Amino acid sequence: MQENEIVHYCQKCLAANSLGQDFCSRCGTRLMIVVEPASMRYDGLDPGTANDEHLLERISVLENRITRLTDRIERTLDLLLRQAQNSYLDRALLKSLIGLLTADEIIDGEKLERLWQKRCEQDSAEQEQNLRRDEIRSQILGNYHGPERTNFERLVSEGFLLLEDGALDNALRALQRAIELNPSNSTLVALVGEQFFRRGRTKLAREYLGRAVALLPEDNHVLLLLGLVCGDQGETEKARELIETATRRGGSSFAAHYGLGRLFAAEEKWQDALREFKRALTAKACPEAHYALGCLYYQLGEDEFATTHLQKATELDRAYVEAFSLLGLLYQRRGLEDLASQAFESATANFEPAATGRPILRPTAPEPFKTWIGKYKRLLTGGDRRLAEALREDALTALTKNNSQPKT
């Protein structure tokens, strides 16, 4: 081959071939790039320039890589299809097994389904939480510019590892020491306050969330958490102002409207509480939202509306003990003894002593808001553990993606 002759590189072995050659002289592969019309082989035209040779080389190499990538994608697709088929067969086998065990009354199919859905939701929430923690960790480290960076990074990394392992107390001690090295790190301060809020430790949550709001006054998520903590401690006016501001700027959430409803209920402003509970249901149609409305309608004597929402709560969660209990009491008040007995039986069947620490009884005159609110009880989380958990769970994820100002 002459020194200045334009060559056609093979897309498989990258061997140089003369222009117009159909097959590679080394491996015999059909050359796929057309670099000149067929007539040029005979009319004696100038074959091109050195720049053309360079471009042809690049195109040939690129085409070879695309071919290899296509092969890999095809193999991956085939593997995914086989895995999907195997998953379908496994699921069919499990459904058949569950159906057989349910028919023999060995297991409760509905309860198993509920447990499976709950586990899937927990796994999904845990994955999202881990992704968010990675992002927060990067923000915390990126926000530090002091002289003790090595020690700061060690404390932060130790704290995050302990959080993942569930060692909350040790994790928070490490993160608190990191805050001492960088008190103005708003993301770190907010994280510590959020962790105290998650565990219901309102006094410490109030301290750190207050510091975080001072550093990040436009962060609606932190603003909401601080408002809920203030409300739980009885600072109703400050709580209402913070929650309404966060809601106005960041949007509605179950936690915000349920919290406002509980504040109005504590002041016996029932119509205002009813408005907020309805908004909470609109924001998140969960069993707890229906149950809260059922309790309020029960308090107001609106038995039909109370029955509707309590029935909806038990339809969404067939193991909602408190909803079944109140529904039974409501039926008793309406004189429907048979339905009341069925509701109490459902409550008893789903009762788990470890969950509440007390047996299911048939109190003669239960009034939810009188048991929720008292001189020594927290205004937002007192009286009902499940509603308190629902409030915290929603608050921890609310307004995290639509803040007026991102965390830095």
Tens digit of each residue's pLDDT (9 = 90 or more) over 85-127: 888 888 888 888 888 887 877 877 777 777 777 788 777 767 7
| Mean pLDDT value across the chain | 82
pLDDT band at 27 (very low <50, low <70, confident <90, very high): confident
Q: State how far Cα 287 lies from the chain centre.
A: 18
pLDDT at residue 258 above 90?
yes
Burial 123-147 (b: 16+ CB within 10 A, else e): eeeeeeeeeeeeebbebbbeebeee
pLDDT band at 309 (very low <50, low <70, confident <90, very high): very high
Predicted pLDDT of residue 364: 39
Topology annotation, domain 251-408: 1.25.40
Specify the domain boundaries for CATH 1.25.40.10 within the chain.
108-217, 251-408
pLDDT at residue 390 above 80?
yes
The reported pTM is: 0.68
98 contacts 110 by C-beta, under 8 angstroms: no
pLDDT at residue 377 above 80?
no
Cross-strand bridge partners of residue 17: 8
| 130 token code pair | 């881990």
**What is the C-alpha to C-alpha distance for residues 194 and 163, in angstroms, rounded to an integer?**
12
Range 108-217 classified under CATH 1.25.40.10: yes
Closest CA to 303 of 276, 339, 279: 339
Predicted pLDDT of residue 366: 52
Sign of the CA dihedral running 12, 15, 19, 25: negative
pLDDT band at 404 (very low <50, low <70, confident <90, very high): very low
**What is the C-alpha to C-alpha distance for residues 275 and 292, in angstroms, rounded to an integer?**
12
Closest CA to 234 of 262, 193, 197, 208: 262
Predicted pLDDT of residue 354: 42
Rank 102-116, 175-189, 372-386 by mean pLDDT and report only the highest: 175-189
What is the phi/psi pair of residue 34, to 5°? -90, 115
| 6 token code pair | 């334009």
295 contacts 268 by C-beta, under 8 angstroms: no
More confident residue, 2 or 11: 11
pLDDT at residue 17 above 80?
yes
When pLDDT is averaged across residues 378-405 and rounded to a whole number, the result is: 79
| 230 token code pair | 């203030």
When pLDDT is averaged across residues 370-374 and rounded to a whole number, the result is: 62
| 94 token code pair | 């499990």
Lowest mean pLDDT among 52-56, 114-118, 253-257: 52-56
When pLDDT is averaged across residues 219-227 and rounded to a whole number, the result is: 93
pLDDT at residue 405 above 50?
no
Sign of the CA dihedral running 204, 207, 210, 214: negative
Helix H or strand E encompassing 21: none
When pLDDT is averaged across residues 153-168 and rounded to a whole number, the result is: 88
**What is the C-alpha to C-alpha distance for residues 4 and 264, in angstroms, rounded to an integer?**
89
More confident residue, 137 or 358: 137
Predicted pLDDT of residue 311: 93
